[in-house]
């Protein structure tokens, strides 16, 4: 086991209430003088210099709810580790007491292998735009079969409309959502419903507006770049303070908010050539917290490198992530059902690549990538299926479309059911994107609420350029316009319409099927055998277990009915059909024609079950 390179001993940053007193810690390695200006009283508390550029203080004057600034050599700035920005990203910080009356002491998260993840954006999930609104919908998610929600980033961002990836105060929970207490309420409520909470965090960059970190120290480096601006300094001079900052943030989410897992945004943009990579140090800290709390916590990475080291263990000299998003599964699946091959879909062949994704996880596992003009990726052999999170929709893949269209407005109902089937019958960890379960027609375009006019115009131009690369004509919705945000808010009343109710019933039944198959040990990579039926544009999936339970799935990706002969031997029954009339299909749900000849409607799938004995 490698050892941590962090030697400062710093566990908490900013201002924390302990036994009625405020403990203050700030990193400002180049400062000559540091003090805390308490806004309500106007008093200024000098801080004492310590080793490694840290400054400390203690007072009983600063109490919960009070606003304050840190004064660095005569200039006032918000606290980098602020717990609340009640007046926005340019205003003073506010002290929050993170003590909370938790009632989840007996809660244990479901094992990742059994997760059905539901990604949501707090601001558009309900018309309340708050954590409270999410809490009110938890019974519906529970009824659907969801046992883990993934919340898009909640770190304080400019204004009150944003995807969350422009956050500039990683420790401050977005005030318009309900702040720290609102998030704690949500986590506690989820745990009462046996639903795990995954929080999307961004450690590869910070947003441009309200980013005061450079005033404190070398948080950024010119050694590297990212698509979103300067890279965070994880391995240059002074990087120890930046690493402390991230580790303190990880600790806060797990200990003070009882978050079950962190989904880390675009970890391939975390540039770090230190002997111990930042992700490895996060893994080490997480393991320590797991041992301290006797509670499991998970780390999920978004990574586009197809590099198994990210999810290899520390003992195997990997980065120790529990799982990663598998975008290639999405790309291959979408092309297989007719997605136009432009942009990053260009080099995906559709069904052949989707068959490979099901069996091999990485489509590019060392083969040549025309898009990248190099041999790309590593083999995923030996890695568990649960280590890959798959989806047919997510915030990126919907929002990357010029108009933010959902599958419901792009594909027919039978194709929507086929997409969901492909995700939920896979040996990987499935994830849904909010509203897909009833086929919402509400779009999810990119939106912001910046206050800097130059930045607003830059964002507009950036979106136009992005879609030009996809050869899309027209103009994307204005990201700054409030109407763009409001158009994305889910309409839960859509479920009152027949077609939406039918799709919802389909998702409920499909999730129940997955849980049943999981309970029998039938959805593992090791037991999955994929056969391509090229003439019929179909896939035959075979799964069995040690108890001799066996299922066969047929997936017809063609636009015509297909007839299959000699694909099954023995006695089989239809366990599930995407074309059952119960959810708007064309077949009686009790039909069981698993005989010598099988007819499968266009863009549909069926599950056959065989149990020996």
CA 439 to CA 406: how far, in whole Å? 8
Give the model confidence (pLDDT) of 349-373 as tens digits: 999 999 999 999 999 999 999 999 9
> Do the domain assignments include residue 340?
no
Report the alpha-carbon distance of residue 130 to residue 491 in Å, rounded: 15
- pLDDT score at 463: 83
Residues paired with 573 in a beta bridge: 609
**How much of the chain is helix, strand and coil, in % rounded to 5?**
30, 25, 45
Question: Quick count: other Cβ atoms within 10 Å of Cβ 41?
Answer: 11
**Count of the separate structural domains present in the chain:** 3
- CA neighbours closer than 13 Å in the CB half-sphere of residue 281: 25
pLDDT at 475: 83
Domain boundary among 464, 484, 504: 484
What is d(CA 39, CA 92) in angstroms, rounded to the nearest whole number?
A: 8
Catalytic residue among 235, 302, 328, 396: 302
Question: Does residue 582 form part of some domain?
Answer: yes
Asked if 19 is an active-site residue, the reply is no
Please give the radius of gyration of the chain, using alpha carbons only, rounded to the nearest integer: 25
Does the structure show a pLDDT above 60 at 593? no
Whole-number Å distance between alpha carbons of 393 and 424: 13
Instruction: Give the whole-angstrom CA distance, residue 278 versus residue 297.
Output: 17
User: Greatest CA separation found in the chain?
Assistant: 86
565 domain residue, yes or no: yes
Please tell me the least confidently modeled range out of 121-130, 227-236, 346-355.
227-236
Report if residue 601 sits inside a domain. Answer: yes
76 is catalytic: no
| 157 occurs within a structural domain | no
Q: Are residues 465 and 536 in the same domain?
A: no
Of the candidates 244, 265, 272, 322, the residue annotated as catalytic is: 265
pLDDT (average), residues 432-444: 98
Q: Classify strands 298-301 and 323-325 as parallel, antiparallel or unpaired.
A: parallel
Question: Could you tell me if residue 34 is inside a domain?
Answer: yes
- Beta strands 298-301 and 261-264: pairing type? parallel
Measuring CA to CA, which residue among 247, 219, 252 is closest to residue 10? 247
Residue 596 has a pLDDT of: 67
Distances (CA, A) of 262 to 87, 112, 370: 27, 13, 33
Average pLDDT over residues 460-469: 79
| Residue 75 domain flag | yes
| Bridge partners (DSSP) listed for residue 229 | 226
Cα–Cα dist 40/14, whole Å: 18
Closest CA to 434 of 8, 237, 144: 144
Alpha-carbon gap, residue 340 to 346, rounded angstroms: 8
Domain containing 70: what range? Answer: 14-94
Report the DSSP pairing between strands 388-390 and 604-611.
unpaired
DSSP 3-state assignment of 487? helix
Which of 6-15, 91-100, 480-489, 570-579 has the lowest average pLDDT?
Answer: 6-15
Cα dihedral 151, 154, 155, 161 in deg (nearest 10): 130
pLDDT tens readout for residues 148-192: 999 999 999 999 999 999 999 999 999 999 999 999 999 999 999
What is the mean predicted confidence (pLDDT) over 297-313?
Answer: 97
What is the chain's mean pLDDT, rounded?
Answer: 94
Residue that is written with structure tokens 């994307």 in the block: 476
Among 73, 94, 115, the domain-final residue is 94
The 10s digit of each residue's pLDDT in 501-543 is 999 999 999 999 999 999 999 999 999 999 999 999 999 999 9
- Residue 591's pLDDT is 45
d(CA 594, CA 574): 7
Calpha distance 22→489 (Å, rounded):
39
pTM > 0.75: yes or no: yes
Classify residue 260: in a domain, yes or no. Answer: no
* Residue 592: pLDDT band with limits 50, 70, 90: very low
Looking at the fold, whether 473 and 535 belong to one and the same domain comes out as no
Block residue for tokens 């080291």: 309
- Looking at 484, 508, 542, which one is the last position of a domain? 484
292 pLDDT higher than 80? yes
Q: In percent, how much of the chain has pLDDT > 70?
A: 96
- Residue 473: the pLDDT is 65
Between CA 165 and CA 396 the distance in angstroms is: 11
Please name the residues in contact with 73: beta carbons below 8 A apart, sequence gap of 6 or more: 31, 32, 33, 34
Domain of 22, CATH number, reads 2.60.40.10
């Amino acid at each position: 086991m490698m050892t941590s390179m962090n030697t400062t001993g710093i566990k908490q940053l900013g201002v924390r209430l302990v036994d009625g007193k405020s403990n203050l810690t700030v990193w400002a390695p180049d400062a000559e003088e540091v003090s805390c200006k308490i806004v309500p009283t106007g008093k200024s508390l000098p801080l004492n210099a310590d080793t490694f550029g840290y400054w400390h203080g203690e007072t009983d004057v600063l109490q919960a709810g009070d606003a304050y600034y840190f004064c660095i050599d005569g200039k006032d700035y918000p606290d980098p580790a602020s717990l609340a920005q009640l007046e926005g990203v340019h205003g003073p910080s506010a002290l929050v007491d993170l003590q909370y009356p938790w009632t989840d002491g007996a809660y244990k998260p479901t094992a990742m292998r059994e997760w059905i993840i539901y990604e949501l954006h707090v601001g558009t999930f309900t018309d309340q735009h708050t954590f409270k609104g999410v809490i009110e919908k938890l019974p519906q998610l529970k009824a659907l079969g969801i046992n883990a929600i993934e919340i898009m980033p909640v770190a304080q961002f400019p204004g009150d409309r944003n995807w969350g990836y422009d956050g500039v105060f990683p420790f401050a929970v977005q005030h318009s959502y309900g702040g720290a207490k609102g998030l704690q309420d949500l986590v506690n409520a989820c745990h009462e419903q046996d639903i795990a909470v995954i929080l999307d965090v961004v450690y590869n960059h910070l947003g441009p507006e309200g980013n005061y970190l450079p005033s404190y120290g070398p948080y950024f480096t010119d050694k590297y770049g990212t698509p979103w601006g300067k890279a965070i300094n994880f391995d240059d001079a002074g990087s120890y303070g930046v690493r402390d900052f991230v580790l303190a943030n990880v600790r806060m989410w797990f200990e003070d908010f009882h978050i079950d897992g962190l989904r880390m945004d675009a970890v391939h943009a975390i540039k770090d050539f230190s002997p111990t990579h930042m992700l490895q140090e996060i893994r080490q800290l997480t393991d320590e917290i797991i041992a301290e709390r006797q509670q499991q916590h998970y780390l999920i990475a978004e990574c586009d490198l197809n590099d198994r080291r990210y999810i290899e263990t520390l003992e195997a000299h990997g980065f120790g992530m529990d799982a990663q998003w598998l975008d290639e599964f999405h790309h291959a699946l979408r092309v297989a059902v007719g997605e136009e091959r432009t942009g990053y879909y260009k080099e995906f062949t559709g069904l052949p690549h989707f068959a490979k994704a099901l069996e091999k996880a990485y489509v590019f596992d060392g083969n040549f990538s025309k898009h990248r003009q190099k041999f790309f990726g590593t083999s995923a052999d030996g890695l568990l299926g649960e280590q890959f999170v798959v989806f047919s929709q997510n915030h990126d893949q919907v929002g990357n479309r010029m108009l933010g269209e959902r599958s419901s407005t792009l594909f027919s109902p039978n194709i929507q059911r086929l997409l969901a089937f492909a995700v939920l019958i896979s040996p990987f960890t499935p994830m849904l994107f909010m509203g897909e379960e009833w086929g919402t027609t509400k779009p999810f375009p990119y939106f912001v609420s910046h206050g800097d006019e130059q930045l607003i115009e830059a964002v507009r131009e950036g979106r136009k350029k992005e879609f030009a690369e996809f050869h899309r004509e027209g103009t994307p919705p204005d990201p700054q316009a409030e109407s763009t945000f409001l158009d994305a808010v889910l309409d839960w009343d859509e479920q009152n319409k027949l077609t939406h109710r039918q799709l919802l019933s389909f998702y409920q039944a499909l999730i129940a099927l997955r849980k049943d198959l999981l309970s029998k040990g039938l959805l593992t990579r090791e037991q999955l055998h994929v056969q391509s039926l090229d003439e019929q544009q179909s896939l035959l999936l075979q799964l069995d277990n040690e108890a001799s339970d066996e299922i066969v799935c047929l997936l017809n990706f063609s636009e015509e009915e297909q007839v299959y002969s000699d694909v099954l031997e023995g006695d089989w029954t239809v366990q599930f059909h995407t074309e059952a009339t119960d959810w708007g299909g064309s077949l009686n749900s009790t039909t069981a024609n698993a005989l010598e000849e099988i007819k499968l409607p266009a863009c549909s799938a069926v599950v056959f079950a065989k149990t020996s004995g």
